[in-house]
Amino acid sequence: MNRDDEVGRARAHSLNAHLSEDLVKEYGIRSVRVRTGDVVKVLRGSYRGVEGKVIKVYLDEGRVAVEGLTRQNSRGENSPVRIHASKVLVTRLNLDDKVRREALEAIKSRKTGKIDEKVEGEVNG
């Protein structure tokens, strides 16, 4: 593994956010990487309590832009407010990505002790 991969992994890890209580009970994990399309609630700052969909993820900054959170820049245009990923709570996951959905289901089955029939058949067959 080269240095760029290590830096990329560290940056990706900085995009983790806590899950809501309902999601923690459902999946058995406390945090997940924030992705575009996830619905989050802002926990800190002047935008505390605002809930919206993630419209953009800034990997290099570890921040996310939430739908509906804008401010006026020096040119008078509206620009998205960038909120640090650790200051948001994921309330609904975007499960459009098949790989993400399967990974979360695998974690869920591992935490509950259930073995997926498909995986069991591959091991025994």
Q: What pLDDT band is residue 118 in, cutting at 50, 70 and 90?
A: low
Percent of the chain past pLDDT 70, that is, above it, reads: 78
Domain span at 46: 3-94
Query: Is there a single domain that holds both residue 66 and residue 120?
Result: no
Query: Is there a single domain that holds both residue 82 and residue 118?
Result: no
Lowest mean pLDDT among 7-21, 42-56, 77-91: 7-21
Query: Is there a single domain that holds both residue 62 and residue 102?
Result: no
Domain containing residue 38: CATH number: 2.30.30.30
Q: Which residue has the higher pLDDT, 111 or 32?
A: 32
Phi-psi region of 51 (alpha: psi -120 to 50; beta: other; left: phi over 0): beta
Average predicted confidence (pLDDT) for the chain: 86
pLDDT at 111: 76
Contact 68, 83 (CB under 8 A): no
Q: What is the pLDDT of residues 34-66, one digit of tens each?
A: 999 999 999 999 999 999 999 999 998 999 999
Contact 34, 85 (CB under 8 A): yes
**Buried-exposed string 99-115: b where 16+ CB fall within 10 A, e elsewhere:** eeeeebeeeeeeeeeee
Q: Does 112 score more than 80 pLDDT?
A: no
Q: Does 125 score more than 50 pLDDT?
A: no
Give pTM, 2 decimals.
0.78
Query: Is there a single domain that holds both residue 84 and residue 113?
Result: no
Q: Looking at 24-77, which runs of residues are DSSP E strands? A: 31-33, 39-42, 51-58, 63-72
Overall average pLDDT of the 84-102 stretch: 95
Query: Is there a single domain that holds both residue 76 and residue 34?
Result: yes
Q: What pLDDT band is residue 110 in, cutting at 50, 70 and 90?
A: confident
Query: Is there a single domain that holds both residue 73 and residue 108?
Result: no
Query: Is there a single domain that holds both residue 90 and residue 100?
Result: no
Query: Is there a single domain that holds both residue 81 and residue 102?
Result: no
Q: How many domains does the chain have?
A: 2
Contact 31, 17 (CB under 8 A): yes
